[in-house]
Amino acid sequence: MNISLQIKEMSLKEKLMTMEALWDDLCHEEERLDSPDWHKPVLEQRVAEAEEKYNFSDWETAKKDIRKSHK
- Measured between alpha carbons, how far is 71 from 67 in angstroms, rounded to an integer? 7
Q: State residue 65's pLDDT score.
A: 92
Domain boundaries, the chain: 1-33, 35-71
Q: State residue 1's pLDDT score.
A: 65
pTM of the predicted protein model: 0.43
Average pLDDT, 10 consecutive residues per value, the chain (71 residues): 85 96 87 87 95 90 93 78
Q: State residue 55's pLDDT score.
A: 83
Which residues, at least 6 apart from 50, have a Cβ–Cβ distance to it below 8 Å? 56
Q: State residue 61's pLDDT score.
A: 93
Q: State residue 56's pLDDT score.
A: 85
Distances (CA, A) of 41 to 44, 46, 50, 52: 5, 9, 14, 16
**Residue 60, CB-side half-sphere exposure with 13 Å CA sphere:** 0
